[in-house]
Structure 1
């Protein structure tokens, strides 16, 4: 038997071990709807290059993908506008919190990368050019649905409303960007779209399937060019876990993108796409159990972009 033949047993054992230890981290309590989520949950799904989808835990429970949506928004912008985005957003790790205003001030309103909140707001602003928020959101949703091969992926309106009611730091970031003329739409318009984008909910099975196009798997729909897949994966590796990106890369050797809803999208180029969820977060705002699970999966399979 190959190592991947043992994967179902490994994932079930991993889920059982996680549940028995009960070390969960802290949910994102600054978003009221996420504060209500029980942290004692875990799911993992692996979409393989041979077409198999292998899952363990609560893999059909929906959760808020939050900042994982930034990967799909970026993919949509690059597909529509090409590399012009990089005139307004950098491609370097931030080394700071995902919602920090400090670097934005030091670097005159040009966000360090598209995965910190300021950079994501600029990405959303670009996606809004010349159309209504509903159209921009529909493009992101359709990209995800096409990638997953599943139309049953939606926005949780209650989570979006919760973020709008409490997202004061994002409001500050949007207005600061506008002061440097790095938002072309009104802050309210960009923020409304961004909050709804982050409120997309998925299962780990849907997340793993949607990531196949980023991993370049044989059965994935052709939504991105090879060059753009590589560049998005590079940004996921260096910036996908905020100021914990170096630690995540060190532990897994793989590109990943986290969200404060506890999700992680893990990309294994040419081999697999992985969705992981556990809502309790570590000090960097990334899933505590999910990060450990990603590390253990990489160790078990030997997967790494470094050979």
Structure 2
């Protein structure tokens, strides 16, 4: 199987697509990204890297950072985390407040905004904001073996200026005691996590630990059991109210962000990152999902494939 050729063919097909979705316009730096951009990177278990399109162009990973924040939080408090956030699909938009009201301030899962805010609060239970942000940056740099990964301060400021729904979510959960720390500090840290800037190559490299049972180049970052469980949450909750359709069409654990990126994992085989800023109606990359669907069709990498290995 020629993965390089497959990735290049997919990038070529995406370049010819005319329906590219709508770029997120509520965060000014994201609204400025050209919708024709598309990048793809596949890192195989043998360490080989296969890229095409704008795979070296950094972009704001946004909610994909929730995967790394969750990993750090589980490492900090273990299964105690699940007393404050659930593990069920939401079936609602990523920033919905409706379920919080009916479920007394406990978010459905760590990948909706409310759940990620609680995860951030958990990390701040033993760290100051500057320390937590530094920890996140060091973590993704170590995972990707790349010290050039940075946080885009312009994006972080723009999120702070426009994040009124997230402010409402955080304050509402503070009223229930689900968020326990200073709301302003929690949100400032959360916005900085979302402002991580990575290319498809860097993101695919950072996802290797979930592809290889918690290890990167022989170094263990999480236990195999935790890696498996994070993958399970990505499969069931990683695309909000589009998660079922993503599993149906692609059949791999994945996590999207409104910056147009998707991190996808073929356990034991590959870590995959795609980026195209135009979003579908559920806030997920339109071309990114199309590209991943083509990839699994040509490779048979879906976890529901009988010969998946």
Q: Considering the TM-score relative to the shorter chain, is it more than 0.5?
A: yes
**1:266-296 Cα shifts (integer Å, max 9, x gaps):** 0111110001100000000000000011111
Q: Is the 8 A contact 1:212 1:220 kept in 2?
A: no
Q: Is the 8 A contact 1:22 1:40 kept in 2?
A: no
Aligned pairs (5 A) from 1:263-302: 263-302=261-300
Q: What does residue 35 of structure 1 align with?
A: 31
**1:230-257 Cα shifts (integer Å, max 9, x gaps):** 0000000000000000000000110000
Q: CA deviation at 1:22?
A: 3.1
Larger deviation, residues 126-135 vs 54-63: 126-135
Quick one: distance in 2 between partners of 1:269 and 1:12? 22
Q: CA RMSD in A?
A: 1.0
**1:113-143 Cα shifts (integer Å, max 9, x gaps):** 0000000000000001132101111111111
Q: Which runs of 5+ in 2 are unaligned?
A: none
Q: Which runs of 5+ in 1 are unaligned?
A: none
Q: What does residue 15 of structure 1 align with?
A: 11
User: What secondary structure is seen at the aligned counterpart in 2 of 1:21?
Assistant: coil
Q: What does residue 243 of structure 1 align with?
A: 241
Q: Figure out how many residues of one structure are paired with residues of the other and give that number.
A: 303
Aligned pairs (5 A) from 1:63-212: 63-212=59-208
Q: Is the 8 A contact 2:143 2:216 kept in 1?
A: no
TM-score w.r.t. length of structure 2: 0.96
Q: What does residue 45 of structure 1 align with?
A: 41
TM-score w.r.t. length of structure 1: 0.97
Larger deviation, residues 11-20 vs 222-231: 11-20
Q: CA deviation at 1:220?
A: 5.7
Quick one: distance in 1 between partners of 2:12 and 2:293? 16
Q: After the TM superposition, which parts of structure 1 deviate over 3 Å for at least 4 consecutive aligned residues?
A: none
Q: What does residue 303 of structure 1 align with?
A: 301
